[in-house]
Amino acid sequence: MSTTVEQKTRPVADGRHPAVQFIKDNATLIALLVLCVGLSFADSSFFTARNLSNLARQVTIIGIISIGMTMVILIAGVDLSVGSVAGLAAIVVTMLMQYGLGTWLAVPITLVLVGGIVGLWNGWWIAHYKIPSFIITLGMLTIARGLALTLSGGSSIPVANDSFANLGGEYIGPTTSAVILVLLLGLYFYGLYRSIQQTRKFGAEVRMAEIIPSLIVVLAGIALGFYVFAGYQGIPIPVAIFGVIAFGGMYALEQTRFGRRIYALGGNEEAARLSGIDIFTTKLIVFVTVSVLAALSGILLASRLNGASPNLGTMFELDAIASVVIGGTSLAGGSGTIGGTIIGTLIIGVLNNGMSLLGVSTFYQLIIKGFIIILAVWFDVLQKRR
């Protein structure tokens, strides 16, 4: 018997106009664009290479955590401890530096000591005892913050070390940056070509409605990259690190066994177990990943600030969760993408940056941000209801 088209059960796009469908499918992206265009008109200093370069650097701090948070939320969990872990990592790395350790020793040690251990601890309780991640990480939120305060004695720890400061503050030179951007563009076109070929080979139709947005985003992104990075001081190191992590996250989720296990686990844990998936290990890896990324984020922040305060990273968990959710990942688990999360992170970042430029008081900023999060999720729910 051959593969036949089953018209009966195939969901049709409700007879909606393709343009309407296109807007709905790419709503967050369009919201980001509208936000950027609006801000460019509202304040002339928004769309400058200098501001955007800084914005990119700021965004990466939450962005790095959001990549890990995406995985956690995909398995229908949540990690509330990321902000505290970032703060603890910042304290630990600065203290290690003060003890005279070099950057290249202090950073990996912190990643393992803080990120690795906290992640294993969280993951163990969640995966082995099957306690909701909300509770375990809520506990860790307090524990890690308390540890940061205890270790530092409650005061800030300064660092004076150029190589450490470079981590968060330096740039990859404009020329090298330009080369990287061109390479990325080449890589993207190669990937697109391969994926179109494969889609054809599988007998599936090549859906332009899916390709065109990604093409536009990439082309615009690269062009913007040239303007912001190659035209200014180059790619900030944290942005490059974020790029590598985001790419790694996308690759892991979309191209590997590990990714399949995450989607399976989040979609239907019992079915995943009965399909032979090692639930315990998968959960453990996910929680270690998010903690290590949170620690990295804390380290980059400490580097940028040339020191750490024990209160660093407070409320980061909320921004990270908001980014993931705005990016369309379902809190019920099983569906969502890193690409969406990056857009979500950018929306929050642009919003913060824009409101500061416009001189909106931080009090109002909080209120507005809260409404935006609710609106985004409401919109998502509306869409899914069909």
From the list 325, 354, 352, the residue with the least C-alpha distance to 341 is 325
CA 162 – CA 166 distance, rounded (Å) = 6
Which member of 188, 215, 273, 357 binds other proteins (CB under 8 A)? 273
Exactly one of 99, 274, 315, 363 binds other proteins (CB under 8 A); that residue is: 274
Q: Which stretch binds other proteins (CB under 8 A): 45-53, 87-95, 198-206, 318-326?
A: 198-206
H or E element in which residue 308 lies: strand 307-308
Sequence-separated (6 or more) residues with CB below 8 Å from residue 163:
102, 103, 104
Using an 8 Å Cβ cutoff, are 296 and 244 in contact?
no
Q: Compute the least distance from the CB of residue 257 to other proteins, in Å.
A: 4
- Using CB under 8 A, which of 25, 260, 306, 377 touches other proteins? 260
Interface mask toward other proteins for 11-40; x: CB under 8 A: xxxxx-------------------------
Nearest to 144 by CA among 192, 225, 212, 81: 81
**DSSP run (H or E) holding 172:** strand 171-172
Residue from 332, 334, 331, 311 nearest 321 by CA: 331
For 105, other C-beta atoms within 10 Å of its C-beta total 12
Minimum distance of other proteins from residue 107's CB (angstroms)? 24
Q: Is the Cβ–Cβ distance between 327 and 337 less than 8 Å?
A: yes
Based on CB atoms, which residue is closest to other proteins, 131 or 375? 131
Residue 285 tokens read as: 């890896």
Query: Which of these ranges, 100-108, 115-123, 194-202, 345-353, lies near other proteins under the rule CB under 8 A?
Result: 194-202
179 Cβ neighbours under 8 A, 6+ residues apart:
none
Q: Which listed residue (175, 275, 356, 361) binds other proteins by CB under 8 A?
A: 275
Interacting span for other proteins (CB under 8 A) from 8-16, 55-63, 90-98, 111-119: 8-16
168, 302 contact by CB (below 8 A): yes
Q: Is 129 in the site for other proteins (CB under 8 A)?
A: no
Strands 171-172 and 307-308: unpaired
Q: How far is the CB of 197 from other proteins (least distance, A)?
A: 10
Q: Which of residues 276-305 bind other proteins (CB under 8 A)?
A: 276-278
CB nearer to other proteins: give 12 or 19. 12
Residue whose CB is less far from other proteins, 40 or 199: 199
- Closest to other proteins by CB, 58 vs 335, is 335
Comparing CA positions, the residue from 33, 348, 360, 39 lying closest to residue 213 is 33
Total binding residues toward other proteins, as defined by CB under 8 A: 43
Which residue's CB is nearer to other proteins, number 166 or number 255? 255
CB of residue 241 vs other proteins: minimum separation in angstroms?
20
- Report whether 227 contacts 49 (CB < 8 A): yes
- Binders of other proteins among residues 318 to 357 (CB under 8 A) are 334-335
In the shown chain, the binding pattern of residues 147 to 186 toward other proteins, with x for contact by CB under 8 A and - for none, equals: ----------------------------------------
Name the residue nearer to other proteins (CB basis): 9 or 44: 9
Phi, psi of 236 (to 5 degrees): -60, 140
- What kind and span of H or E run contains 235? strand 235-236
Q: What is the contact surface with other proteins in residues (CB under 8 A)?
A: 1-15, 198, 201-205, 251, 255-258, 260-261, 263-264, 267-268, 270-278, 334-335
